[in-house]
Chain A
Amino acid sequence: MDIVDLARLQFALTAGAHFLFVALTLGLATLVAVIQTRATFSGDPVHLGMTRFWGQLYIINYAMGIVTGLVMEFQLGLSWSGLTSYAGDVFGAALAIETLVAFFVESTFLGLWIFGWNKLNRWAHLALIWVVTLTAYASAFWIMVANGFLQHPVGYVLDGGRLRLTDFGAMVANPAAQVAFLHVLSGAMVVGGFFVAGVSAYHLSRRTVAQDLFRKSLRIGVGVALPALLVTATFGGMGFETLQPAKAAAWVNDAVQLAAVQAGMAAELGPGDYLPSVGAVRAGGLVMMVLFALMLFVAGPSFLLMLIRPVVRGFRLWHWLLTLMIPVPFVAMLGGWVFREMGRQPWAVYGLLRTSDAMSPVSEGQMLFSLTAFVTVFAVLIAINCWLLARHARRGPGAVALGDRPIEAPVPVPSF
């Protein structure tokens, strides 16, 4: 492996890990916000218990999303300064807006939501989770605007060897960004829906005492997963119309088409290898589509089964199937991501900047150090957090720490 491969591997592992946690964050935040809305209106203890239980899992997951996201953000300047100095004046604007509109507000209000439980007015507390959810969407939106630019650059001119933004509207309206954003967002709802349905099914199969809580949760999970699957597939289909020619040729694996793309780009840009890895593109795309079929095959009948209360309570085989399905949408997400990102190689900015020219001038030793350190730390932390997610999911609503403490401040003393 040369240093570019190491840097790519480092970014891919960070982004891949981040993507998994973020997908669940987007899906689960939405469901928690919906559940808390019902709880706030009804005051029903079952709904309140649901909010706390799913909220706790959301927070465990969120913490991992945030730390992988930090490392990813800084990696752009660390390893890919060729990209930031060449195109940063354009897609950096989307990243800047993301950090301020989305990340900043999301973190600030999430802290208030967690620590302000039982302390804030309940309507204000409800408003917080909605702001957190909407800013999570905004975050995904602006990241996809940045990514969409790298996939399909629009709204720029080349000026003195660097790109300059000329049309902000065109960059935001880029179909390679918009369609992909809606595809990823609905995909995240699939992840969240199957997660909630699977965990609920586990508890129902164990004849939990909190049967109402998990019966309602299972319905919400399946009820979100099925329509979200159809929406995801629709936007995925539309996304095929925005594919770069090389990615499209690699996907169908047509020798004539591949040769035509290669010849066209070589004629325009000079000699070089302009084709992505056909194997990676096809594998990623196939994983995504096969798993989509599997999810649809499970979610469709589940949608009917969940309407029958005794079945929701007692059909154990179905419970086990739903629990086993929890990882499937995550793998599909990764498949789609490999398809999209491997398919744009060898370009960092499609048609403009090659990945090998986007690297920072760092040494192989430095790259090996950071790769080893990040992989080690993240492998350990991801293992611990997945174990904790499973542990807290298994233990049920009785053991939730989030929001269980009444305010115990008899005489508050202002500290500043």
Chain B
Amino acid sequence: MEIFILGFFAIGYLVLAGADIGVGMALPYLGRSGGERREVIAAIAPFFLGNEVWLVATAGVLAGLFPKLEGELLHGNYTVVVTLLLAWVVRDMGLWLRGRVPGPRWAAFWDGAIVAGSWGLALSWGTLLSHVLIGLQGPVALLPALVLAALFLTHGLSFASLRLRGSLRERAAVLAGGAGQAGTYALTAAALVAVGVLAGLRLPLEPGTSGPLLVPVVLTLIPFLVAAQAWVWWTFRHRVSGPSYL
């Protein structure tokens, strides 16, 4: 049951926040002007806080249920995890700060931070997961990392095509082939789930001793957490019709 809980949050993160990462990577392609970029960001704005927190929960579950693995996984991939965190911080700050001061140069600078941070996140995840999945480290790991980054990018584009309108939507749908937009999203999501499951199978998932106490607590919480998230998705289920707060 410990493994199910860890997988639930980790895979939830990859699918949900993976779309935010992909949209950030594709930001210069999707939004050609400042106004367009703001509208593209509105596609992920209401969700990104609630999506990235799935990774916070994953780290919490690791700390509580798999404390030994947490240490081995994080310090064993020290540089990659530090890079991942830095990219995460830079991406988030780009999102928060781009609208704080009026003027195109300020917004363009922080848009750059969003793009750099999103690519940094995708490549760090790619590097970390390829280390776990196929044991590759060093420069050669960049190849599988790029493949995974491309997966995030495609996932983000398919999500954007579901959220945006008009020409922005057409740009986002460039890769959607015969499967249609929802179908593409389902495909990329399934691919990310597969990556998460395979990575989990490769990890030494040996729970600590707090399971008997913690597992029932977490299992009780999960329906409430899912309901809270569902409220967000329901509230913002419509296509983006203009800029948001960010």
Contacts and interface: CB of A to CB of B under 8 A. Distances in A.
Contact of B60 (A99, A119, A162): A99
B210 A93 contact: yes
Interface in A385-416: 388, 391-392, 401-402, 405, 408-410, 412-416
Nearest to B60: A99
A112 B231 contact: yes
A223 B208 CA distance: 48
Contacts of B70: 76-77, 81, 84, 88, 92
A233 interface: no
Contacts of B142: none
Interface string A308-352: 000000000000000000000000000000000000000000000
Interface string B48-87: 1110111011011111110110111111001101100110
B86 A374 contact: yes
Given A97-B217, A413-B239, A402 B89 contact: no
Interface residues of B, number: 71
Interface stretch (A24-32, A66-74, A242-250): A66-74
A110 interface: yes
A108 B71 contact: no
A373 B82 contact: yes
Nearest to B224: A105
A100 B222 CA distance: 9
A164 B56 CA distance: 24
Nearest to B75: A360
B3 interface: no
Contact of A107 (B49, B68, B97, B99): B49
B81 A70 contact: no
A415 B238 contact: yes
Interface in A91-130: 92-101, 103-105, 107-112, 114-117, 119-120
B63 A103 contact: no
Contacts of B68: 84-85, 88
B36 interface: no
A111 B232 contact: yes
Contact of B75 (A98, A114, A362): A362
A36 interface: no
Say what secondary structure dominates the interface of chain A.
Answer: helix
B89 A381 contact: yes
Nearest to A76: B63
A88 B68 CA distance: 8
B75 A110 contact: no
Contacts of B224: 105
A111 B9 CA distance: 19
A180 B48 CA distance: 33
Contact of A416 (B59, B214, B237): B237
Interface string B204-246: 0000111001100110010011001101100111111111110
Q: What are the nearest 3 A-B pairs in CB distance? A: A88-B67, A81-B71, A96-B64
